[in-house]
Amino acid sequence: MILLTGGLGYLGSHMAAQIIEQGHEVVLVDNLSNSKIAVLDRLSQLTGRDISFVKIDVRDKAAMQEVFSQYPITQVVHFAGSKSVNESIQQPLDYYDNNVNSLISLLHVMKEAQVKTIVFSSTAAIYGEPESLPIPESARQAPITPYGRSKQICEQILQDFSNAEQGWKIAVLRYFNPAGAHSSGIIGEVPNGIPNNLVPYIAQVARDERPFLQVFGNDYNTIDGTGVRDFIHVQDLIDGHTKALAWLSTQPQAFEVLNLGRGEGVSVKQMLDAFSKAVGHELPYKVVARRDGDSASVYADASRANCLLGWQATRTVDEMAIDTWRFYEKLA
């Protein structure tokens, strides 16, 4: 059985849908700090199954021990965490507390329960301003926000833990820019408040919830002057997780760090155009000043995940836009 922490969030819910479809047993835990219980109903609707869910905070050790004694868990994917780059600048202690302490607590409980496989959600934010492109896993790490630094600390903890313990199988996955939604349109990303990420923001413009997209700078040295990022379809990203779990299960012991991206840059304007096409009309935007700390271009060298796992992202930017819109169009 696979435990997904943060299982009702954006990525956790897509992973739940995929692994249930593949016939795995799953239990989800989530404290609902950035998700809604309605996602559980949607997952049941999508999979036709009752899904085991426990509402707890991963930092609550006693509650997590109870989960491990109640369910026959063999593998864990640790999605739970706080992910807003901007919020982390305002609330650094909350970010370090949630991201670092939830991992430490989880590892203690897993160790006690003798469950030794974990996939950890890390981020391209760990790299900061890239020295060269595409970015390999070995690139310099220079995160510029408490969020990125909290994930860097988590990676270090996992590395130290792996060095000290026998038989642990650990994959650290550094995500670039997850976007898109399940092709059913039943689950997707529902941000609380103002979205931090481009795609949900564009979706809100398409729903007339926001008047226009703010494009932060159009004078970068990129294809059309707007910032370039490595958007990756959420289903491709989740494929990377299931392949990582399968690979780990064949290893006696492992510690691997892998980039998950398409390995291709797409500009903000190109994403906006893909979305306009999906919606069927031009979406409004205004160019405003660059934001501090934004890089011109960020995209992955994802060849290591390809070599090790036989994984490669295949879905296009158009598919990300179409799938996102299918979800948002129906959203109440």
Active site amino acids: 147
Measured from the CB of residue 281, what is the shortest distance to ligand NAD in angstroms?
Answer: 27
At 162, list the tokens. Answer: 């792996």
Residues lying near ligand NAD in the complex (CB under 6 A): 5-6, 8-12, 29-35, 57-59, 79-81, 83, 98, 102, 121, 123, 175, 178, 197
What is the smallest separation between the CB atom of 186 and ligand NAD, expressed in angstroms? 16
Quote the tokens at residue 273. 């155009």
**Least CB distance from residue 82 to ligand NAD, whole Å?**
6
CB of 37 to ligand NAD, least distance (A): 10
Judged by CB, which is closer to ligand NAD: 32, or 287?
Answer: 32
Closest to ligand NAD by CB, 220 vs 231, is 231
Query: What is the Rg, in whole angstroms, of the alpha carbon atoms belonging to the chain?
Result: 19
Nearer residue to ligand NAD within complex by CB, 44 or 287: 44
Sheet-wide strand order for 254-260: 52-55, 26-30, 2-5, 75-78, 117-123, 169-175, 254-260
Cβ 225 to ligand NAD shortest distance, Å: 24
